[in-house]
Amino acid sequence: MKFTSFGFDERLLEGIEASNYEDATPVQEQVIPLILQGKDIIASAQTGTGKTAAFLLPVIHKILTDPHEDHTNNALIIVPTRELAIQISQHIEGLSYFTSVSSIAVYGGGDGGAFVQEKRALSTGADIVVCTPGKMMAHIKMGYVKFQGLKYLILDEADRMLDMGFYDDIMMIINHLPAKRQNLLFSATMPPKIRELARRILHQPAEINIAMSKPAEKIVQEAFVVYDTQKIPLIKYLLHKKEFKMVLIFCSSKISVKNLTRELKRNRFPADEIHSDLTQEQREEVLIKFKSGRLSILVATDILSRGIDIDNIDLVINYDVPHDGEDYVHRIGRTARAAAEGTAYTLVSVKEQRKFHAIEKLIGKPVPKSIVPEQFGESPAYTPEGHRPAGAGARQGFSKPKRFPQRRKPE
Ligand code: AMP
């Protein structure tokens, strides 16, 4: 799902584009429309699912488009650690870079200068405040924090906050907030004490459960960093080099499926294709041939990435990088099912490096990069941070930190 389908403010869409987010992650798809509708939410989602942007984007959009009081803090995000507070405020800076939204991170361990800056922001009002509970309580006790117009409360990693003993601080902070507000609670796990917290602070919440699946350990994952023109020759080489009984090759488009299959057939590989241009009957026929072993290489679009039950695939090749981490996990999860182990190769072109890097972040570890054999000539280096898509390059200053106080709304 594209970010344009949420109806976000243009300035926010620019920040999303500059952050190189192309498609919404599953948690974003589910959570964003509900937050835009004004619902309270309880979501179980781990780090790596894109949960931060899932709450930041609709909150920033609402701050930009809904009328709200000036000189008050509008949104409060409470998090367990200062590292998370810093990370989230960097996220805010990136996503809201082209807007006038102001934010401040309030966390322990800073010096006197930081305290003064926090005090100034909290007493004049920042659009978004990210804080750790203890430090926020310290400010609240001094009496200058302006919460009278606060509209959004977000508790992130709530289970961790309770494990760290922040329950009382959180409840005390909440007692200082206006009763009418939208509440969003994110937690990796849902133990009874989180349910209890939710009962006390959420109002008829929508419940969302997104457990980010991880690739099975027994799948050997490798990536080849190549130029587009090297992809088909490399696949032919890999299929020749070692004998695999059942190979499933995924392509993101029907055209690539057809081109690759044609090329494999021309080279006498026992390959065929499956995609939505075939009738149901034709698809079933191909699948039967593949399952029975009469066909050992099947080239497919993502119609085969979820839930099909073919047990003995020993190699999955991603001809191109899938859209997101979930698709990647589903595609490579077609191997190593009944079989003891399986292999998954992903071919990453220069313009796909960023997308692949985002997937590596979502699955929580880098995929080892294999050396492209010399006979293919020079291959590109893996520098995902260095390749900006066309159009974003002009925004080199994008990650420049914004300082508080920033541009204020016209008064
Ligand atoms: P989180 O789960 O919020 O910690 O996010 C994990 C990583 O995914 C962060 O580095 C985000 O910048 C990145 N991310 C979040 N949403 C997207 C998206 N839609 N596309 C690509 N990367 C994303």
Task: Place 308 in a pLDDT band, splitting at 50, 70 and 90.
Answer: low
Ligand 1 pocket mutation, candidates 8, 17, 25, criterion most atoms within 8 A of CB? 25
Q: What is the mean pLDDT of residues 50-78?
A: 92
More confident residue, 284 or 93: 93
Q: What is the mean pLDDT of residues 377-390?
A: 77
Q: Is 49's C-beta closer than 6 angstroms to any atom of ligand 1?
A: yes
Which range is least confidently modeled, 61-75, 242-256, 259-273? Answer: 61-75
Task: Place 330 in a pLDDT band, splitting at 50, 70 and 90.
Answer: confident
**What are 389-407's pLDDT values in tens digits?**
433 333 222 233 333 333 3
Q: Ligand 1, atom 16: nearest CA belongs to which residue?
A: 50
Q: Which two tokens stand for residue 114?
A: 């930081």
Q: What is the mean pLDDT of residues 112-123?
A: 90
Task: Place 52 in a pLDDT band, splitting at 50, 70 and 90.
Answer: very high
pLDDT, residue 209, reads 83
Q: Which two tokens stand for residue 189?
A: 């796990």
Q: Which two tokens stand for residue 292?
A: 């029975």
pLDDT, residue 405, reads 33
Q: Is 132's C-beta closer than 6 angstroms to any atom of ligand 1?
A: no
Q: 165 C-alpha to center of ligand 1: Å?
A: 28
Q: Ligand 1, atom 1: nearest CA belongs to which residue?
A: 50
Which range is least confidently modeled, 31-35, 54-58, 270-274, 388-392? Answer: 388-392
Q: Is 321's C-beta closer than 6 angstroms to any atom of ligand 1?
A: no
pLDDT, residue 309, reads 62
pLDDT, residue 338, reads 58
Task: Place 335 in a pLDDT band, splitting at 50, 70 and 90.
Answer: confident
Q: 150 C-alpha to center of ligand 1: Å?
A: 26
Q: What is the mean pLDDT of residues 103-131?
A: 90
Q: Ligand 1, atom 20: nearest CA belongs to which residue?
A: 21
The ligand 1 atom at the shortest distance from the C-alpha of residue 355 is: 21
In the chain, the amino acid numbered 247 is: V
Question: How far separated are the first and last CA of the chain, in Å rounded?
Answer: 37
pLDDT, residue 403, reads 35
Q: 48 C-alpha to center of ligand 1: Å?
A: 6
Ligand 1 pocket mutation, candidates 17, 19, 77, criterion most atoms within 8 A of CB? 19
Q: 21 C-alpha to center of ligand 1: Å?
A: 8
pLDDT, residue 267, reads 96
Q: Count CA atoms closer than 13 A to 72's CA, side-chain side.
A: 15
Q: 16 C-alpha to center of ligand 1: Å?
A: 11
Residue-averaged pLDDT of the chain: 87
pLDDT, residue 406, reads 36
Which strands make up the sheet holding 342-348, listed edge to edge? 271-274, 297-300, 247-250, 315-318, 342-348, 219-225, 369-370
Q: 217 C-alpha to center of ligand 1: Å?
A: 23
Q: Judge if pTM exceeds 0.85.
A: no
Which range is least confidently modeled, 4-18, 287-301, 397-411? Answer: 397-411
**Rounded CA separation 174/333 (Å):** 43
**3-state secondary structure labels for all residues of the chain:** CEHHHHCCCHHHHHHHHHCCCCECCHHHHHHHHHHHCCCCEEEEECCCCCHHHHHHHHHHHHHHHCCCCCCCCCEEEECCCHHHHHHHHHHHHHHCCCCCCCEEEECCCCCHHHHHHHHHHHHHCCCEEEECHHHHHHHHHHCCCCCCCCCEEEECCHHHHHHCCCHHHHHHHHHCCCCCCEEEEEECCCCHHHHHHHHHHCCCCEEEEECCCCCCCCEEEEEEECCHHHHHHHHHHHHHHCCCCCEEEECCCHHHHHHHHHHHHHCCCCEEEECCCCCHHHHHHHHHHHHCCCCCEEEECHHHCCCCCCCCCCEEEECCCCCCHHHHHHHHCCCCCCCCCEEEEEEECHHHHHHHHHHHHHHCCCCCEECCCHHHCCCCCCCCCCCCCCCCHHHHHHHCCCCCCCCCCCC
Residue 13 has pLDDT above 90, yes or no: yes
Q: Ligand 1, atom 19: nearest CA belongs to which residue?
A: 24
Residue with tokens 């949104």: 75
pLDDT, residue 333, reads 83
pLDDT, residue 141, reads 94
State the greatest distance between any 2 C-alpha atoms of the chain, in Å, as a whole number.
78
Q: 51 C-alpha to center of ligand 1: Å?
A: 7
Q: How far is CA 36 from the centre of its chain?
A: 19
pLDDT, residue 387, reads 45
Q: Which residues of the chain form CATH 3.40.50.300?
A: 3-209, 219-396
pLDDT, residue 407, reads 31
Tell me if the bond preceding 366 is cis, omega within 30° of 0.
no
Work out the number of other CB atoms within 10 angstroms of the CB of residue 217. 8
Q: Is 88's C-beta closer than 6 angstroms to any atom of ligand 1?
A: no
The ligand 1 atom at the shortest distance from the C-alpha of residue 46 is: 2
Q: Is 210's C-beta closer than 6 angstroms to any atom of ligand 1?
A: no
More confident residue, 340 or 250: 250
pLDDT, residue 408, reads 31
Q: Is 149's C-beta closer than 6 angstroms to any atom of ligand 1?
A: no
Q: Is 333's C-beta closer than 6 angstroms to any atom of ligand 1?
A: no
Q: Is 80's C-beta closer than 6 angstroms to any atom of ligand 1?
A: no
Q: Ligand 1, atom 9: nearest CA belongs to which residue?
A: 50
Residue 350 has pLDDT above 50, yes or no: yes
**Rounded CA separation 28/34 (Å):** 10
Q: 144 C-alpha to center of ligand 1: Å?
A: 35
The CATH number of the domain covering residues in 219-396: 3.40.50.300
pLDDT, residue 339, reads 52
Exposure string over 101-133, b if 16+ CB within 10 A, otherwise e: bbbbbbbeeeeeeeeebbeebbebbbbbbbbbb
**What are 175-223's pLDDT values in tens digits?**
999 999 999 999 977 888 899 999 999 999 999 987 656 777 789 999 9
pLDDT, residue 212, reads 59
More confident residue, 405 or 298: 298
Residue 363 has pLDDT above 50, yes or no: yes
Q: Is 47's C-beta closer than 6 angstroms to any atom of ligand 1?
A: yes
The ligand 1 atom at the shortest distance from the C-alpha of residue 24 is: 19
Q: 288 C-alpha to center of ligand 1: Å?
A: 39
More confident residue, 190 or 73: 73
Instruction: Single out the residue of 3, 7, 30, 32 nearest to residue 19, CA to CA.
Output: 3
Which one of 3.40.50.1970, 3.90.550.10, 1.10.357.10, 3.40.50.300 gives the CATH number of domain 3-209?
3.40.50.300
